[in-house]
C-alpha cells in the first residue's frame, strides 16, 4: 500500500544519506526487528551491509540454518556466522542464577560480536532494530517498573564503547507496523509473525544449570510445542509460546518400569504489550496432543504441565 512504500522509500533515502559509502554492521538474531532492519538497509546500500549472527549455542533447533537460508541464500546478504557456542556453554557451566546467566550471556555476546566486527574494514555504523516503545521507555526514568525486573541483553543492547554510529530505521514504528514493513519487503511469513524470543535464548528456559544434554531435551520439546500450535492454527492468536525445562524429576511408569524423569512446563500467553499478559486458553485436545508427543518423543521427560498464571504477578519467562 502507498503508505508502506512511502515509508520504505524515505527510509532508504535517509539511510543512504546518513552512511555515504561506509560499511554498516547489523546483528541478526532471526527476530522480526533485526530481520526487517537488515532487509531494509540491504535495499538501501546492498553490499555495504554486513550482518553478523552470533550462534550462542542457545538457539532453537534449526534456527541458525533457517536464518542463513533466508538471508544469505535468499536475499544474498553478506552474513557472517560466529559460532561462539562453546564459549557460551563453558561460561555458563555451574551457573543457576537467572540474572547471572543474563550477565554472562550478555558479556559473551559482546565478545563474540566484537571479534567478528574487528574483521570488517571500514565499518563505521551499527544498525539496530530500536522501536518507538524502546525510545519512550529509555527516555522515562521511572517508566513501567516491570520493564526493569529482568536485565535485558538484546542485540540492540551493544554498548557505546564499541564506537559505532547508530542507524535506527525503525525508531518511529510500533511492532505491528514493523511486521507490515516486513511483509512489504517480502520477508517470509514465518519470520514476520514470529513470536518474540529472548536474547539469552533457551538459556533462561532451562531452570538450573544449562548443559548440552538439557539443551537437547528443551529443543526437542520446544519444536513439538511450536509445530503443534501452528498445526492447530493458533500461532497467530498466541503472542508467545514457550517450553521450560524444570529441574525437578517426578515418578512415572514406562511399561512395567518405574521412571524418574524431568518435567516440561508449557507456557503460552496473549498480550498486546508484554507488560501484562493472560495465559492462552489453548483447547485441551491440543494440549493433550502436545503432551503425548513430548512424553513419547523426548527422552528424559515423563511429565508435561501447563502454566496457567497471568502476568503480573508471574512473568512470561520462568527466569
Residues 197, 212: Cα–Cα separation, whole Å: 19
Nearer to ligand XMP (CB atom), residue 98 or residue 188: 98
The HSE-up count of residue 262 (CA atoms within 13 Å, CB side) is 22
Nearer to ligand XMP (CB atom), residue 153 or residue 184: 153
Interface residue with ligand XMP, options 24, 35, 54, 102 (CB under 6 A):
102
From residue 124 to residue 153, what is the string marking binding to ligand XMP with x (rule CB under 6 A)?
--------------------------x-xx
From residue 198 to residue 237, what is the string marking binding to ligand XMP with x (rule CB under 6 A)?
xxx-------------------------------------
Min separation Cβ 154 and ligand XMP, Å: 4
Q: DSSP assignment of 26-59, as one string?
A: EE--SSHHHHHHHHHHHHHHGGGEEEEEEE-S-S
Tell me: is residue 280 an annotated ligand-binding position.
Answer: no
Interface stretch with ligand XMP, choices 46-54, 63-71, 196-204, 218-226 (CB under 6 A): 196-204
Asked if 122 contacts 23 with a C-beta cutoff of 8 angstroms, the reply is: yes
Q: Which three cell numbers stand for residue 275?
A: 507488560
Tell me: is residue 255 an annotated ligand-binding position.
Answer: no
Residue 37 CB coordination number (10 Å): 31
From residue 233 to residue 272, what is the string marking binding to ligand XMP with x (rule CB under 6 A)?
-------x--------------------------------
Rounded to a whole number of angstroms, the CA Rg of the chain reads: 20
Min separation Cβ 10 and ligand XMP, Å: 29
29 binds ligand XMP (CB under 6 A): no
Interface residue with ligand XMP, options 66, 249, 309, 315 (CB under 6 A):
315
Nearer to ligand XMP (CB atom), residue 27 or residue 42: 27
Q: Which three cell numbers stand for residue 168?
A: 535506527
Close Cβ partners of 247 (under 8 Å, ≥ 6 residues apart): 207, 208, 209, 262
Helix or strand (DSSP H, E) at 269 = strand 257-270
Cis peptide before 313 (omega within 30 of 0): yes
Binding site for ligand XMP (CB under 6 A): 102, 150, 152-154, 196, 198-200, 240, 274, 311, 315-317
Amino acid at each position: 500500500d502507498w503508505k508502506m512504500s512511502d515509508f520504505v522509500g524515505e527510509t532508504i533515502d535517509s539511510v543512504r544519506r546518513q552512511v555515504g559509502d561506509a560499511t554498516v554492521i547489523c546483528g541478526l538474531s532471526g527476530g522480526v526487528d533485526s530481520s526487517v532492519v537488515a532487509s531494509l538497509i540491504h535495499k538501501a546500500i546492498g553490499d555495504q551491509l554486513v550482518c553478523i549472527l552470533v550462534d550462542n549455542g542457545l538457539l532453537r533447533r534449526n534456527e541458525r540454518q533457517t536464518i542463513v537460508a533466508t538471508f544469505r541464500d535468499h536475499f544474498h546478504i553478506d552474513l557472517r556466522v560466529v559460532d561462539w557456542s562453546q564459549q557460551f556453554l563453558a561460561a555458563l557451566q555451574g551457573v543457576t542464577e537467572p540474572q547471572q546467566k543474563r550477565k554472562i550471556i550478555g558479556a559473551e555476546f559482546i565478545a563474540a560480536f566484537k571479534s567478528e566486527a574487528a574483521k570488517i574494514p571500514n565499518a563505521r555504523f551499527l544498525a539496530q532494530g530500536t522501536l518507538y516503545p524502546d525510545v519512550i521507555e529509555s527516555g522515562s526514568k521511572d517508566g513501567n517498573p516491570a520493564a526493569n525486573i529482568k536485565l535485558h541483553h538484546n542485540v540492540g543492547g551493544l554498548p557505546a564503547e564499541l564506537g559505532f554510529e547508530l542507524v535506527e530505521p525503525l525508531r518511529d514504528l510500533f511492532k505491528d507496523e514493523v511486521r507490515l514493513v516486513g511483509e512489504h519487503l517480502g520477508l517470509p511469513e514465518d519470520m514476520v509473525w514470529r513470536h518474540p524470543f529472548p536474547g539469552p535464548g533457551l538459556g533462561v528456559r532451562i531452570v538450573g544449570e544449562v548443559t548440552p544434554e538439557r539443551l537437547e531435551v528443551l529443543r526437542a520439546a520446544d519444536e513439538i510445542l511450536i509445530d503443534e500450535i501452528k498445526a492447530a492454527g493458533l500461532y497467530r492468536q498466541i503472542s508467545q509460546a514457550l517450553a521450560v525445562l524444570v529441574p525437578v524429576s517426578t515418578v512415572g511408569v514406562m511399561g512395567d518400569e518405574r521412571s524418574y524423569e524431568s518435567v516440561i512446563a508449557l507456557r503460552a500467553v496473549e498480550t498486546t504489550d508484554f507488560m501484562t499478559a493472560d495465559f492462552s486458553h489453548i483447547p485441551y485436545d491440543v494440549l493433550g496432543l502436545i503432551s503425548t508427543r513430548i512424553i513419547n518423543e523426548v527422552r528424559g521427560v515423563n511429565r508435561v504441565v501447563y502454566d496457567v498464571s497471568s502476568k503480573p504477578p508471574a512473568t512470561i519467562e520462568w527466569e
